[in-house]
């Protein structure tokens, strides 16, 4: 028996994540979310007009939660890298979803626009966190905003390779990225001292 329409959008997102984990992206439907939530499909459609909109909201929720957790940490950059690494692998739920939406966004302007907004928010969050360790960019001509974009692209590139290459060395890739951040941080400190 379906419950009355007294379910929050946030609760539906949580249950949709569970549905995705149980069924996978290929078998994920709004009907399966309604069944999991014990509500009518109309209730799910009320909050999310399309399956893609629900998937986008899941991506946004994962990003927001991740950045909120990272912001609470003392060493935000190290925590951001740990968080990104934890979502990286051959069966990464988040990145499978993210890249599936990217493909859909290539032919759907609304999805493209919303994913672009998610990426812009991540770029800003990265740049904002970099200001906590760098007073200025360690490389002349590259702004902190530019570093946010570059680091976001590197993380997504590592995730894509981890999804596509069997036995991709995620640990080694992130060790290299941590060394790059450390090197750049040393350069930034030298620049400040001069």
Q: What is the mean pLDDT of each run of 10 residues along the chain (194 residues)?
A: 69 91 85 92 89 90 81 77 88 87 91 93 90 90 95 95 95 95 89 68
1 Cβ contact partners less than 8 Å away, ≥ 6 residues apart? 38
Residues 43, 66, single domain; the answer is: no
Residues 39, 85, single domain; the answer is: no
Tokens 């907004």 identify what position?
Answer: 117
The count of domains in the chain is 2
pLDDT number for residue 1 = 42
Q: Which domain holds residue 164?
A: 52-193
The reported pTM is 0.82
Q: Which tokens belong to 180? A: 């790059």
Residues 178, 112, single domain; the answer is: yes
pLDDT number for residue 62 = 85
CA distance 74 to 91: 30
Residues 26, 70, single domain; the answer is: no
């Amino acid at each position: 028996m379906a419950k009355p329409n007294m379910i929050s959008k946030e609760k539906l997102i949580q249950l949709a994540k569970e549905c995705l984990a149980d069924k996978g992206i290929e078998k994920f439907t709004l009907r399966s979310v309604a069944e999991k939530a014990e509500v009518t499909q109309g209730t799910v459609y009320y909050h999310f007009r399309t399956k893609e909109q629900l998937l986008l909201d899941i991506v946004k929720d994962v990003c927001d939660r991740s950045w909120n957790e990272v912001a609470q940490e003392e060493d935000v950059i190290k925590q951001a890298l740990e968080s990104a690494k934890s979502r990286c692998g051959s069966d990464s739920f988040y990145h499978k979803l993210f890249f599936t939406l990217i493909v859909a966004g290539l032919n759907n302007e609304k999805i493209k626009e919303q994913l672009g907004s998610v990426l812009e928010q991540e770029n800003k969050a990265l740049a904002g966190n970099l200001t906590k360790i760098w007073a200025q960019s360690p490389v002349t001509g590259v702004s902190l905003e530019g570093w946010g974009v570059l680091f976001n692209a590197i993380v997504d590139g590592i995730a894509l390779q981890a999804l596509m290459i069997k036995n991709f060395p995620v640990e080694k890739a992130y060790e290299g990225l941590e060394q790059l951040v450390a090197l750049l941080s040393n350069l930034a400190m030298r620049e400040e001292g001069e």
